[in-house]
Structure 1
Amino acid sequence: MAVHVVWEIGLLLLAGGVLFALTTSSGGPFAEGSWTGLFAALAPIIMLTSAMAVSLRVGAVNLAVGPIALFSAWMFVDASGSGSAMALGVGLGVAAFVGIVLATLTAWLRAPGWAASGAVGGAIGLWAGTAGDPSSFMLSELPGTGVLAALGAATGVSLFFGLVGAFSGVRTRLAPIRQTPVGERHGRGGLVFVGILLSSTLAGAAGVVSAWTAVPEGGAAALPDPILLTVVALGAALLGGTSLIGRRGGVCGTVFAATLVLALMWLAEGRGWGFDPSWIALGAIVAGFLVTRLVEAMNTVDESERASTRRAGSLADLHDDDPQPGERDRTEDYDEDFAGLGSGDPWTDTGGFRTTGGIPKQGAGADPFGASGVFDDLRDAPRDGYGAPRHGR
Structure 2
Amino acid sequence: MAYDDSRFRGEPGFREEPDFRSGGVPEDAPTLGVSNQSVYTPGAFPVSPAYGSPSGESFDDPPRRRTPTAQQLGDVFDDPEHGEPGRDRFAVHALWELVLLLAAGALLYLVRDASPAALRGDELRGLLLSGAELGLVALALGLSLRAGAPNLAAGPIAFAAGLFFASNSERGLLMTALITGLIAVGVGVVIAVLVVAFHVPGWATSLAVALALIAWIANQPSEKLVDGAYDPHKHAMWWALGVAVLAAGGGALGVIRPLRRSLGRFRPVRDPADRRGGGAATFTGLAIAGSSLLAAVAGVLVALDDRGVAAADATGSFGGFTVTVLALGAALAGGTSAYGRRGGVLGTLLAVAVITLLLRYTAAEGWKLQPIALAAGAIALGLVVTRLVETFGRPRTAAELAEEAPWTPPSITPAPVDVEDNWSPPSSRTGSWPGGFAPDADRDRGPDRGWSAEERWGTR
- TM class by smaller structure: 0.7 to 0.9
- Asked if structure 2 preserves the Cα contact closer than 8 Å seen for 1:27 and 1:267, the reply is no
User: Residues 92-241 of structure 1: matches in 2 within 5 Å?
Assistant: 92-134=181-223, 136-174=225-263, 176-178=265-267, 179-187=269-277, 188-215=280-307, 220-222=308-310, 225=314, 226-241=320-335
**How far 1:180 moved relative to its partner?**
4.8
- Asked if structure 1 preserves the Cα contact closer than 8 Å seen for 2:126 and 2:233, the reply is no
CA distance in structure 2 between the partners assigned to 1:34 and 1:175 by the alignment: 39
1:85 aligns with 2:177: no
- Asked if structure 1 preserves the Cα contact closer than 8 Å seen for 2:147 and 2:265, the reply is no
1:15 aligns with 2:104: yes
1:288-343: CA deviation from partner (whole Å, max 9, x where unpaired): 111111111112336xx45995699799xxxxxxxxxxxxxxxxxxxxxxxxxxxx
CA distance in structure 2 between the partners assigned to 1:77 and 1:2 by the alignment: 45
Structure 1 residues 206-215 or 53-62, which shifts more?
206-215
CA distance in structure 2 between the partners assigned to 1:186 and 1:314 by the alignment: 38
- Asked if structure 2 preserves the Cα contact closer than 8 Å seen for 1:77 and 1:135, the reply is yes
Larger Rg: 2
- Asked if structure 1 preserves the Cα contact closer than 8 Å seen for 2:141 and 2:291, the reply is yes
Equivalent of 2:349 in 234, 243, 255 = 255
Equivalent of 1:59 in 145, 148, 156 = 148
CA distance in structure 2 between the partners assigned to 1:276 and 1:80 by the alignment: 32
1:217-273: CA deviation from partner (whole Å, max 9, x where unpaired): xxx544664311001100000010000011100000111000101111221122122
**How far 1:181 moved relative to its partner?**
3.5
Kindly provide the amino acid, as one letter, of the partner of residue 129 in structure 2: A
In the other structure, the counterpart of 1:279 is: 373
User: What secondary structure does 1:213 align onto?
Assistant: helix
CA distance in structure 2 between the partners assigned to 1:239 and 1:118 by the alignment: 21
CA distance in structure 2 between the partners assigned to 1:313 and 1:159 by the alignment: 34
User: What secondary structure does 1:61 align onto?
Assistant: coil
In the other structure, the counterpart of 2:162 is: 73
1:171-191: CA deviation from partner (whole Å, max 9, x where unpaired): 333564221533431011011
Kindly provide the amino acid, as one letter, of the partner of residue 7 in structure 1: W
CA distance in structure 2 between the partners assigned to 1:306 and 1:192 by the alignment: 30
Residue ranges of structure 1 left out of the alignment (5+ in a row): 316-393
In the other structure, the counterpart of 1:269 is: 363
- Asked if structure 1 preserves the Cα contact closer than 8 Å seen for 2:146 and 2:340, the reply is yes
- Asked if structure 2 preserves the Cα contact closer than 8 Å seen for 1:147 and 1:213, the reply is no
Residue ranges of structure 2 left out of the alignment (5+ in a row): 1-89, 315-319, 408-460
CA distance in structure 2 between the partners assigned to 1:282 and 1:12 by the alignment: 21
TM-score scaled by structure 2? 0.62
CA distance in structure 2 between the partners assigned to 1:307 and 1:167 by the alignment: 25
CA distance in structure 1 between the partners assigned to 2:325 and 2:124 by the alignment: 25
Q: CA RMSD in A?
A: 2.6
In the other structure, the counterpart of 1:294 is: 388
Q: Go from structure 1 to structure 2 and tell me whether the alpha carbon gap of 1:182 and 1:130 turns closer, same or farther (over 3 Å shift).
A: farther
Quick check: which one's helix share is greater? 1
1:19-67: CA deviation from partner (whole Å, max 9, x where unpaired): 2211232499448674211111111111111110111111001111100
CA distance in structure 2 between the partners assigned to 1:277 and 1:30 by the alignment: 21
CA distance in structure 2 between the partners assigned to 1:277 and 1:312 by the alignment: 46
CA distance in structure 2 between the partners assigned to 1:210 and 1:171 by the alignment: 31
Structure 1 residues 169-178 or 113-122, which shifts more?
169-178
- Asked if structure 2 preserves the Cα contact closer than 8 Å seen for 1:231 and 1:281, the reply is yes
In the other structure, the counterpart of 1:385 is: none
- Asked if structure 1 preserves the Cα contact closer than 8 Å seen for 2:137 and 2:295, the reply is yes
CA distance in structure 2 between the partners assigned to 1:28 and 1:233 by the alignment: 26
CA distance in structure 1 between the partners assigned to 2:117 and 2:352 by the alignment: 16
CA distance in structure 1 between the partners assigned to 2:332 and 2:95 by the alignment: 15
CA distance in structure 2 between the partners assigned to 1:308 and 1:13 by the alignment: 32
Aligned residues: 309
CA distance in structure 1 between the partners assigned to 2:382 and 2:390 by the alignment: 12
Q: Go from structure 1 to structure 2 and tell me whether the alpha carbon gap of 1:245 and 1:138 turns closer, same or farther (over 3 Å shift).
A: same
Structure 1 residues 148-157 or 158-167, which shifts more?
148-157
- Asked if structure 2 preserves the Cα contact closer than 8 Å seen for 1:63 and 1:114, the reply is yes
User: What secondary structure does 2:341 align onto?
Assistant: coil
Structure 1 residues 171-180 or 151-160, which shifts more?
171-180
User: What secondary structure does 1:131 align onto?
Assistant: coil
